[in-house]
């Protein structure tokens, strides 16, 4: 997965890269109330906070049809993909799932955050987003 130049993250302050090629999701801790939210809202009211990189699969489904564009910015040529919620301990976060066959996910599975490269349309561009992958697939 080594590339000569870094791929643009799909959103600002969404995650930060770590040295081992992984990424860490960023939540936002509200400075006044202490409430932790994901994703971190823009602006100064929330302080960025790193979220746990491991959790368990809370629920999941498969997107079987190509969503309408907008808002979906994926390629015209559509491949179904899995999405899910992962319980990171206190906060349950939604994201794409990767690393298993579409019917290979189960509630309660140990999951971890991984980077995911996606092609988006418009003018075609490659972006980096986050996804969750079942633990123990590759080390």
Partner 1 sequence: MSSVFIVGVGIHPFGRTEGRSGLQQGVFAVRQALADVGLSWADMQFAFGGSDSAGNADTMVSELGPTGLQFINVANGCATGGSALFGAYSAIASGQFDLGLAVGFDKHPRGSFDPLPRNWGLPDWYGDTGLMLTTQFFAMKIRRYMNEFGITEPSLVRVAEKAYRNGALADHAWRRTPVDAETIATSTMVADPLTKFMFCSPAEGGVALVLASEKKAREIGGMAVRLRAAAVRSRPQGSFEVFAPMIEGDGRNSATRLASRAAFEIAGVDPGDVDVAQLQDTESGAEIMHMAENGFCADGEQERWLAEGRTEIGGALPVNTDGGCLACGEPIGASGLRQVYENVLQLSGRAGARQVPGEPRIGYTHVYGAPGVSGVTILER
Smaller CB separation from partner 1, 31 or 72: 72
- Minimal distance, residue 80 CB to partner 1, in Å: 9
Residue 123 binds partner 1, judged by CB under 8 A:
no
Inter-residue contact 112 to 96 (CB < 8 Å): no
Residue 137 binds partner 1, judged by CB under 8 A:
no
Residue 81 binds partner 1, judged by CB under 8 A:
yes
| Contacting residues for 72 by C-beta, under 8 A, at least 6 apart | 66
Report helix, strand or coil for 78. Answer: coil
# residues near partner 1 by CB under 8 A: 38
- Which residue is listed with tokens 């561009």? 125
Rounded to an integer, what distance in angstroms lies between the CA atom of residue 25 and that of residue 129? 10
Residues binding partner 1 (CB under 8 A): 10-11, 14, 37-39, 58-65, 67-68, 70-74, 81, 83-85, 90-96, 103, 107, 118, 120, 127, 129
């Amino acid at each position: 997965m080594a590339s000569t130049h870094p791929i643009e993250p799909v959103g600002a302050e969404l995650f930060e890269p770590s040295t081992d090629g992984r990424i860490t999701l960023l939540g936002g801790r509200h400075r006044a109330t202490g409430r932790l939210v994901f994703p971190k809202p823009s602006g100064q009211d929330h302080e960025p906070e790193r979220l746990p990189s491991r959790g368990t699969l809370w629920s999941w489904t498969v997107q079987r049809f190509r969503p309408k564009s907008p808002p979906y910015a994926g390629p015209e040529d559509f491949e179904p993909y899995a999405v899910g919620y992962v319980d990171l301990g206190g906060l349950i976060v939604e994201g794409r799932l990767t690393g298993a066959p579409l019917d290979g996910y189960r509630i309660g599975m140990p999951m971890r955050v991984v980077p995911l490269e996606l092609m988006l349309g418009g003018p075609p561009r490659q972006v980096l987003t986050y996804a969750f992958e079942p633990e123990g697939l590759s080390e």
